[in-house]
Structure 1
Amino acid sequence: MVNRYSLRDESGHPVESPAEILMRTARVVAEAENNYRSSGATSIEIREKFFEMLYEMRFMPNGRTMANAGTKYGQLANCFVLPVEDDLGKGTDSIFSVLRKAILVLQTGGGVGFSFGRIRPKDASISTTKGKTTGAVSFIKVYDTAFWVIGQGGGRRSAAMAVLPVWHPDILEFVKCKSEEGQITNFNISVGITDEFMKAVKKDDDFTLRHPENGEMYKMIPARELFSAIVDSAYKNGEPGVLFLDTANASNPVPHLYKLEATNPCGEQFLGPYENCCLGSINLREHVKKFSNHKFSNSQMKSQYMVDWDKLAETVQLATRFLDNVVDANKYVTAVPEIEEAARRVRRIGLSVMGLSDLMYMVNVRYGSAKGQELASQIMEFIRYYAMKSSVELAKIRGPFPGIVGSIYDPQNMTWSVPKPLIAHKTNFGRSQLDWKSLIKELKQDGIRNGAQTTIAPTGSIATISGLEGYGCEPVFALSYTRHTREGAEREGKEWREMYYTSELFSKLLIAHGLTKSQRNIVLEKVRKNGGSCQGIDEVPKEIRDVYVVSSDLAASEHVRMQASMQRWIDNSISKTINFPPNARPEEIAAAYQLGWATGLKGMTVYVEGSRQQVVLEKKIGPYETKTEKQVTSEELCPECGTPMRKEEGCSTCPACAYSKCDK
């Protein structure tokens, strides 16, 4: 935490302790209370509540909030989307005007998403010069080069997302533009998928590509041919991702203002033109409690823990207030005034979670199972309810978001309704009933403070700081694995150092079941040989194996359905990776996309193990509690989002969020 978020002296040395970082953050965010006379509490009282919540690690704001709170720039948001028009430089949203704005945003540490769907296709006629256009992909490469240049100072590299709608004539070139690693290094790419396209794939019909400027037909192509190109590219290197645009727009809270076209670089935030979002995540592992003095038996493992729903409700409501304050406390990029205008018009916040898999381990529910899907759904409904409840209470004091008239929350014509769960809520997890009827009545009377409230971010950095084993809503990567890092390697005379990681929860459970140290060491070595999984290892009690699954133990359908169970209650999107084993086939990727669309996902990312040249976390065999002398050339895990980093020209760069560290 200190290395990443502390203020620094003139020589660049950190000057804050972790507690001081959190107090500074709490103080700056609480000062926004002074904007409202009838806030119900003084800013000092709220500051203490915020600090307690952060210090107990019940909730952590995004990295930019902790790094920049109280600084000269004070830019507290991580996520932005900027519009790009088919104009070289005349308009405010022209290609090169937006490039300038994007660079100013990137300099503050934000990540930016763009839709290039309005750019004319390659070889279209240019009336003024009688020449031909170079197409959307050419301008993505221009942006990528500019971002690479400004990132050469070291530190945090540029993070960007390029989206192209599936109907754009340049779509095939776009799909293949990252087929060779290193061609485009600062962008994630995603295809904006429509329902029309997915239906054409299902029926094996032709699909119409259209001119961006007038919507007229450009040409017809077989839908499955294009779908196969998307699948094959994702199969080979994890990109492009897919965004289901019609699904996202079906729950767009402000359809009267804009259509949703693009997301932030990690994909969890669909945003309108110039919008940004301040994120923060609830640490679910800190929201369990013991409910019995259980002693383990050889025949059955009963959980000692249950969800602490009362504590969770308290945290959700306080965290919602925290994030609404961030909208006011943020020092927006002054050279791009549209950003502040957009932020205050809809007042989006992104309340996320992390440590879902940790919680499931503790309450003895298998991630990915039907019961696991239901528990995830119940948790996210609970969080959505109390986030909305808090936002309605804030609206009573501070007023609803200015763009509420015409929105789905318009008190005079509200079109929002309570979602229906993907899987029926039948299991009693000790949760109290949620009074949605009364909440809707209050919403119709007073409006709501925030146009969007919830999301699920990847949370790599803050999850690591919080000591969690599962990032965001992801399953645990492995119960024991090797991590490659440069930290401390120089002292050993190496470029890289291998660190052997073991799940704390798993280790404690082995101890609780009476395994000796030597027995545990044998188990952990077998787990490493088994790709980080305890499945099929007889020395691990069955009741542990039934619950302690890792990412590679799950079928793709279980990954998808877990995400879909949560998506029902998330009004924005979810950053999650659908993992496939090395022997997966392209047809399995295709089936996952079709299931994701059918179950209501807004976006998907897939990854076939070993498909990228650079990999960070290896589930390799290694000595337990010993060092290795082997030199390593693969990359380390991104501390921001947990994605495998790539090494290019002396810099290790995350392909998801573009965090970077460069060789000295």
Structure 2
Amino acid sequence: MSTELAQDPLKTYTQEEAFKATLKYFKNDDLAARVWLNKYALKDSQGNIYELTPNDMHQRIAKAIASVEAKYANSLSEEDIFNLIKDFKYIVPQGSPMAGIGNPFQIASLSNCFVIGNDGHSDSYGGIMKIDQEQVQLMKRRGGVGHDLSHIRPKGSAVKNSALTSTGLVPFMERYSNSTREVAQDGRRGALMLSVSINHPDSEDFINAKLEQGKVTGANVSVRIDDGFMKAVKSGTDYTQKYPIFSRAPKVTKTIDANTLWKKIVHNAWKSAEPGILFWDTIINESVPDCYADLGYKTVSTNPCGEIPLCPYDSCRLLAINLFSYVNNPFTDKASFNFKLFKKHIAFAQRIMDDIIDLELIKIDNIIKKIDADPEQEELKATERNLWVKIQHKAKEGRRTGVGITAEGDMLAALGIQYGSAKGNAFSLEVHKTIALEAYRASVNLAKERGAFSIFDAAREKNNPFIQRLKETDSKLYYDMLEHGRRNIALLTIAPTGTTSLMTQTTSGIEPVFMPVYKRRRKVNPNDKEVHVDFVDEVGDSWEEYVVFHHRFKQWMEVNGIDSSKNFSQSEIDELIQKSPYYKATSNDVDWLSKVSMQGAIQKWVDHSISVTINLPNDVTEDLVGDLYLKAWEVGCKGVTVYRDGSRSGVLISNDYKKEEKAKNLLTTFPKKRPQILEADVVRFQNNKEKWIAFIGLIDHKPYEIFTGLADDEDGILIPRWVNKGLIIKNRNEDGTSRYDFQYKNTRGYKTTIEGLSHKFNPEFWNYAKLFSSTLRHGMPIDKIVDLINSLQLDSESINTWKNGVVRALKRYVANGTKAKGQVCGNCKSENLIYQEGCLTCKDCGSSKCG
């Protein structure tokens, strides 16, 4: 029996109707409303919207899950399930389950996470291409994918083809990365994790691959580190790499100084937040599924965020329990945690997760039927079909689940407990221990009602450390499991819960609050009307910035009688934060070693893994990063990632206005010698109905030089519309003169070069451009350069039109709020003009001029 919604004509809503209703539902939280509407509201392929608010979605999900429950004893009703999931209050199916359950318009998996692989032995081109195709097929069905590269032979190894020697890991990293960036599902870019063992002779190349600008931008990368390497780091001894890895009869061996490679890992993580580290021996030794390794459950890699280590062709669905909702009387001196209700809901969460596996099996069956019905040749469909048959088998046999949490930081704040304190760590440990015991108890009870997963064997698991902890803590649970088995091979995780936490309006996953008050960046299409682009990241995506209060901080204000609608100054905000339970409890405030210890303690009660990031201020040393990594290994973490503020562009940024204002008044200091290669922005605009283009060379995101003129097909300057980033490279002509080339990557990752920017435009423009570039290079503030250019009295109409184009291009880089001197508002004649989003805005009447 199908569990999908009947495909009868359903009521549809306009985008405006749905957004208005959803905005009201989320109490005017614009971001939450847009995320839900864009990612999770029921839509058909024509964009018709069938759900007005998230509770329509919750009704859809409850109906589908109830249809599965009806097949089993002690079934939950549709109303029971709806009351558990409505309003994102208690139990929240994450991502793919939220979008896909009960969705008749989408032939997609309900799994969030997949791992694929070559069973550790095939590194032929055919095997490598098969993985490429498999990852694309999964991503088009909305899945995040991980796979390991340790089976690929190292660079320089002999191969039996015309190449004679292997190219090593890095070219294949780029291939998989480029494939990921090409795949999108409903605007959602694919997500990929690439891993490699530190024992692989090319692991250093893997670690360094992302340092080169623009390389491997479509993948997260993590290194699988074994205990032997960590012991060599601690003792300062050598370490032997091998291919095949850990082989007793390797084809390639390489002895290295462990500390040299360790420092490289630490430096790169400090510099760019990657690679992440997977403590592989801890993962394998603690893994319950690896008790069945010989039956196909040997863990080989993780999903893109690292919280689900998986064997090849296994997958997992995710669900989060909203911890904040179990705090009674939050932010008062009567606050308490409702453990009784919490335990009851953990059992329901595990039950719902098991129901979702049944729904997933139906989804996969539909995918296979769709593949069979496609008119393509059978040989073209074979890889995709075989892939889904393997995934279906693993889901049916192991019935893996991913019960997790969100709102850890808000839960502690609501209880008046400081995140990262000894008391906070102890309370969090008790919460996660409770989840482990009650989820496993629920899985045993499900085995009584529905049967155990088909290969359950208590004898295989008896020495597993996680199972032993359950036995020591709750012997009755353990002996019940021996008698009845368990419904699911593995149960628990802690995922990042990015968009989930936007809709629960809480802190994300296990993390503390990032900042109680912050700026947020929202990705935008720079070609849309009325879009303000404040920031363009290193891969060319455009973002808008705005200031928001964290929802639960706002709730704390209201509980304490503070009017949250007031327009606070920065000093008033700072004072409020100091009075709140979030003070000294943000991502940058918590004691980092304490957080690592907390993660290690909680990891003992999570049978998969934990996705967690240690946020560090910009000025921390590389040695501290190394100490944190070492500590993480010592306390039993399965993985760890660090993010040093400013080391990578992100969505949330500091709200320190004083620093910004100070920076505005300082001259920019550039290198005395022009670097050979500069990052560059491409800016398009119109003047007098003519299309113009500017190439702006940047150093530290600040303009250093400019080339601009007409975008003319005949001159070869009309590059694709989607290109808004690239490189300006200074080269030499055969006669020794300089030229400036522009280089960008196409959608396949191949480089395209436009030679001689300085000769593509009118020579008259180029002479003035050299003058303007010179003032940029000497650090003159952008607004002053704009004033200078505007003041020039030039002879011809064409050069004046070009001058206006230069001004329009450079205005984008003037800091918001900069006062424009010597100019008058054309509407009210006021001199109170400021730059805002590259436009001159009158603070008195609000009129804006962007020309």
Distance (Å, rounded) in 1 between the aligned partners of 2:410 and 2:621 = 30
- Counterpart of 1:33 in structure 2 is 69
- Counterpart of 1:100 in structure 2 is 133
Distance (Å, rounded) in 1 between the aligned partners of 2:100 and 2:342 = 27
CA shift, 1:342, in A, is 1.3
CA shift, 1:186, in A, is 1.3
Q: Secondary structure at the match of 1:208?
A: strand
Q: Give the root-mean-square deviation of aligned CA atoms.
A: 2.9
The residue correspondences of 1:209-220 to structure 2 (distance < 5 A) are 209-212=241-244, 214-215=247-248, 216=250, 218-220=253-255
- Counterpart of 1:23 in structure 2 is 59
- Counterpart of 2:93 in structure 1 is 61
1:484·1:498 contact (CA, 8 Å) conserved in 2? Answer: yes
Query: Compared with structure 1, are the counterparts of its residues 90 and 177 closer, same or farther at alpha carbon in structure 2 (3 Å cutoff)?
Result: closer
- Counterpart of 1:419 in structure 2 is 469
2:413·2:581 contact (CA, 8 Å) conserved in 1? Answer: no
Comparing 112-121 with 126-135, which one deviates more in the overlay? 126-135
Q: 1:266 aligns with which of 297, 302, 305?
A: 305
Query: Compared with structure 1, are the counterparts of its residues 376 and 408 closer, same or farther at alpha carbon in structure 2 (3 Å cutoff)?
Result: farther
User: Structure 1: which amino acid aligns with 2:651?
Assistant: V
Distance (Å, rounded) in 1 between the aligned partners of 2:485 and 2:406 = 29
Comparing 302-311 with 187-196, which one deviates more in the overlay? 302-311
- Counterpart of 1:463 in structure 2 is 501
1:254·1:403 contact (CA, 8 Å) conserved in 2? Answer: no
The residue correspondences of 1:161-176 to structure 2 (distance < 5 A) are 161-176=193-208
Q: Secondary structure at the match of 2:344?
A: helix
Q: Does 1:46 align with 2:80?
A: no
- Counterpart of 1:596 in structure 2 is 632
Distance (Å, rounded) in 1 between the aligned partners of 2:155 and 2:100 = 41
2:593·2:631 contact (CA, 8 Å) conserved in 1? Answer: yes
Query: Compared with structure 1, are the counterparts of its residues 556 and 416 closer, same or farther at alpha carbon in structure 2 (3 Å cutoff)?
Result: closer
Q: 1:132 aligns with which of 165, 181, 197?
A: 165
Query: Compared with structure 1, are the counterparts of its residues 181 and 575 closer, same or farther at alpha carbon in structure 2 (3 Å cutoff)?
Result: farther
- Counterpart of 2:599 in structure 1 is 563
User: Structure 2: which amino acid aligns with 1:494?
Assistant: H
User: Structure 2: which amino acid aligns with 1:608?
Assistant: R
Q: Does 1:608 align with 2:644?
A: yes
- Counterpart of 1:200 in structure 2 is 232
Query: Compared with structure 1, are the counterparts of its residues 399 and 220 closer, same or farther at alpha carbon in structure 2 (3 Å cutoff)?
Result: same
Distance (Å, rounded) in 2 between the aligned partners of 1:319 and 1:103 = 31
User: Structure 1: which amino acid aligns with 2:547?
Assistant: Y
User: Structure 2: which amino acid aligns with 1:359?
Assistant: M
- Counterpart of 1:288 in structure 2 is 327
Q: Secondary structure at the match of 1:353?
A: strand
Query: Compared with structure 1, are the counterparts of its residues 374 and 181 closer, same or farther at alpha carbon in structure 2 (3 Å cutoff)?
Result: farther
Query: Compared with structure 1, are the counterparts of its residues 501 and 406 closer, same or farther at alpha carbon in structure 2 (3 Å cutoff)?
Result: same
Q: Does 1:378 align with 2:430?
A: yes
CA shift, 1:304, in A, is 2.5
Q: 1:349 aligns with which of 382, 401, 406?
A: 401
Q: Does 1:475 align with 2:522?
A: no
Q: Secondary structure at the match of 2:605?
A: coil
Distance (Å, rounded) in 2 between the aligned partners of 1:204 and 1:503 = 45
Distance (Å, rounded) in 2 between the aligned partners of 1:10 and 1:226 = 49
Query: Compared with structure 1, are the counterparts of its residues 488 and 102 closer, same or farther at alpha carbon in structure 2 (3 Å cutoff)?
Result: closer
CA shift, 1:547, in A, is 5.5
Gap regions ≥5 residues in structure 1: 292-300, 422-433, 529-533, 624-632, 635-647, 652-664
1:320·1:351 contact (CA, 8 Å) conserved in 2? Answer: yes
Query: Compared with structure 1, are the counterparts of its residues 511 and 73 closer, same or farther at alpha carbon in structure 2 (3 Å cutoff)?
Result: closer
2:222·2:278 contact (CA, 8 Å) conserved in 1? Answer: yes
- Counterpart of 2:570 in structure 1 is 525
- Counterpart of 1:425 in structure 2 is none
Q: Secondary structure at the match of 1:593?
A: helix
CA shift, 1:130, in A, is 7.1
CA shift, 1:494, in A, is 2.4
Distance (Å, rounded) in 2 between the aligned partners of 1:545 and 1:303 = 12
- Counterpart of 1:14 in structure 2 is 49
User: Structure 2: which amino acid aligns with 1:144?
Assistant: S
Query: Compared with structure 1, are the counterparts of its residues 650 and 264 closer, same or farther at alpha carbon in structure 2 (3 Å cutoff)?
Result: farther
Query: Compared with structure 1, are the counterparts of its residues 120 and 563 closer, same or farther at alpha carbon in structure 2 (3 Å cutoff)?
Result: same
Distance (Å, rounded) in 2 between the aligned partners of 1:325 and 1:420 = 24
Query: Compared with structure 1, are the counterparts of its residues 310 and 649 closer, same or farther at alpha carbon in structure 2 (3 Å cutoff)?
Result: farther
CA shift, 1:586, in A, is 0.5
- Structure number with the bigger relative contact order (C-alpha 8 A, sep ≥ 6) is 1
Distance (Å, rounded) in 1 between the aligned partners of 2:571 and 2:505 = 24
Query: Compared with structure 1, are the counterparts of its residues 347 and 515 closer, same or farther at alpha carbon in structure 2 (3 Å cutoff)?
Result: closer
When normalised by structure 2's length, the TM-score is 0.65
Q: Secondary structure at the match of 2:336?
A: strand
Query: Compared with structure 1, are the counterparts of its residues 610 and 512 closer, same or farther at alpha carbon in structure 2 (3 Å cutoff)?
Result: same
- Counterpart of 1:645 in structure 2 is none
- Counterpart of 1:251 in structure 2 is 286
Distance (Å, rounded) in 2 between the aligned partners of 1:305 and 1:604 = 32
2:557·2:564 contact (CA, 8 Å) conserved in 1? Answer: no
- Counterpart of 2:545 in structure 1 is 498
User: Structure 2: which amino acid aligns with 1:5?
Assistant: Y
Query: Compared with structure 1, are the counterparts of its residues 25 and 622 closer, same or farther at alpha carbon in structure 2 (3 Å cutoff)?
Result: farther
Comparing 378-387 with 339-348, which one deviates more in the overlay? 339-348
CA shift, 1:254, in A, is 2.7
- Counterpart of 1:437 in structure 2 is 475
When normalised by structure 1's length, the TM-score is 0.82
Gap regions ≥5 residues in structure 2: 1-35, 369-384, 535-543, 659-679, 682-721, 726-851
2:123·2:151 contact (CA, 8 Å) conserved in 1? Answer: no
Distance (Å, rounded) in 2 between the aligned partners of 1:504 and 1:148 = 33
Q: Does 1:326 align with 2:378?
A: no
Comparing 342-351 with 582-591, which one deviates more in the overlay? 342-351
CA shift, 1:127, in A, is 3.5
Q: Secondary structure at the match of 1:133?
A: coil
Deviation readout 1:410-445 (Å, 9 max, x if unpaired): 7xx887544399xxxxxxxxxxxx971211121111
Comparing 101-110 with 495-504, which one deviates more in the overlay? 495-504
CA shift, 1:75, in A, is 1.2
Distance (Å, rounded) in 2 between the aligned partners of 1:392 and 1:650 = 55
Distance (Å, rounded) in 1 between the aligned partners of 2:145 and 2:470 = 32
Distance (Å, rounded) in 2 between the aligned partners of 1:131 and 1:246 = 35
1:248·1:602 contact (CA, 8 Å) conserved in 2? Answer: yes
Comparing 131-140 with 166-175, which one deviates more in the overlay? 131-140
Distance (Å, rounded) in 2 between the aligned partners of 1:620 and 1:415 = 45
Distance (Å, rounded) in 1 between the aligned partners of 2:495 and 2:613 = 11
- Counterpart of 2:110 in structure 1 is 76
Query: Compared with structure 1, are the counterparts of its residues 19 and 511 closer, same or farther at alpha carbon in structure 2 (3 Å cutoff)?
Result: closer
Which has more radius of gyration? 2
Same amino acid, percent of matched pairs:
31
2:414·2:581 contact (CA, 8 Å) conserved in 1? Answer: no
Query: Compared with structure 1, are the counterparts of its residues 517 and 574 closer, same or farther at alpha carbon in structure 2 (3 Å cutoff)?
Result: closer
The alignment covers a number of residue pairs equal to 585
Query: Compared with structure 1, are the counterparts of its residues 650 and 463 closer, same or farther at alpha carbon in structure 2 (3 Å cutoff)?
Result: farther
